Structure formats: C-alpha cells, structure tokens
Amino acid sequence: MKKVAVFPGSFDPITLGHEAVVLRALSLFDEIIVAIGNNSQKKYMFDLKQRQTWIEETFKGIDKIRTDIYEGLTVNYCESIGAKYLLRGLRNQQDFEFERSIAQMNRDLNDEIETIFLFTDPEYSAINSTIVRDIHRHGGEVSQFLPKNIKI
C-alpha cells in the first residue's frame, strides 16, 4: 500500500525549516501532502490561497509532494485521504513537549495514524513563522528565512 504522510500546519508563511523537513522526509514516503489546517477562529497574516501558492512554488516539480487545505481535526483529514502518517518537525524542547501531547492525543483519537518526527537541521532550528511575521510586520527583510522562490 502507498505510504502517504500529511505534514500539517498553518504555513503562515512556509519557511526554510518546513521545506527542509518535507524534503528530508521524501525518502520515507510515497507521497507527502503539505496540508494547511484552516481554523476559522484563528487570524492569519497571509491569505489562505497565498499560503498555498507559496507551498506549491516551493515544491514545484516534485511529483511526490502535493498541497491541500483542510478544516477540522487533522486525524479525520488523514483518514479521509487514506494517509497513515503525520509528519512533524522538532526544533527544541518546547516543540517536543507540545508535539508529544498532540501526538498522544491524536493517537487516542485514531490509533491507526502514526506521528513521525524529524529533528530540524540545526541551521533552521531558530526559524519560526511567528517571528518571521513579526519581522515582516515591522518592515524587516525576511527572504533569508524563506524558500528561495518566495517573495513576500
């Protein structure tokens, strides 16, 4: 059976850290869906369609990577598309504690979906979409933190 992984997030915006995790995971899966979880209660800086376009541009030409948008529980989305793996990146101890809780609760919700973690490359471990947004909001240059074709 095809091994399909979902890499869920807000990608507000996608960063070099996200890109590296997905590229490194390519050898583990037949297909990776970079999926934007859309929460109508949450405010985003960048428009949903714009965020998806940036993801498409980042992975252009790589057939094994697709993008999608979903609402609701991530495990339900995984089940609906037949994905058995959830891919997450780990940067530091805070990520670890937070991600552990999410992974355990997701497992309680659906024990057929396995969360797979990759440690981020050290050079990307400080990159964080929230900080990228703050820099951008205050007029700073953020291109050094973003995949090479992304111009904000």
Which 126-145 residues touch ligand ADP, going by CB under 6 A? Answer: 127-129
The yes or no reply on residue 9 touching ligand ADP (CB under 6 A) is yes
Residue 124, interface with ligand ADP (CB under 6 A)? yes
Q: Which of 4, 5, 6, 15 binds ligand ADP (CB under 6 A)?
A: 15
Answer for the pair 79, 109: CB distance below 8 angstroms, yes or no: no
Give CA–CA dist 32/52, Å, rounded: 15
Please give the helix or strand (H or E) that residue 101 lies within, else none: helix 93-109
Among the residue ranges 14-22, 54-62, 66-74, 77-85, the one whose residues contact ligand ADP (CB under 6 A):
14-22
What is the rounded CA–CA span in Å between residue 3 and residue 17?
Answer: 23
Output the six-digit token pair for 95. Answer: 């990520």
Catalytically active residues, by annotation: 18, 42, 91, 129
Pairing mode of beta strands 31-37, 4-9 = parallel
Asked if 13 interacts with ligand ADP (CB under 6 A), we say: no
Nearest distance from C-beta of residue 54 to ligand ADP, angstroms: 12
The closest residue (CB) to ligand ADP is: 17
- Residue 106 engages ligand ADP in binding (rule: CB under 6 A): no
- Indicate the residue type of 86: L
51 forms part of the interface with ligand ADP (CB under 6 A): no
Is residue 103 within 8 A of residue 22, CB to CB? The reply is no
Give the residues lining the site for ligand ADP (CB under 6 A). 9-11, 15, 17-18, 21, 88-89, 91, 95, 120, 124, 127-129
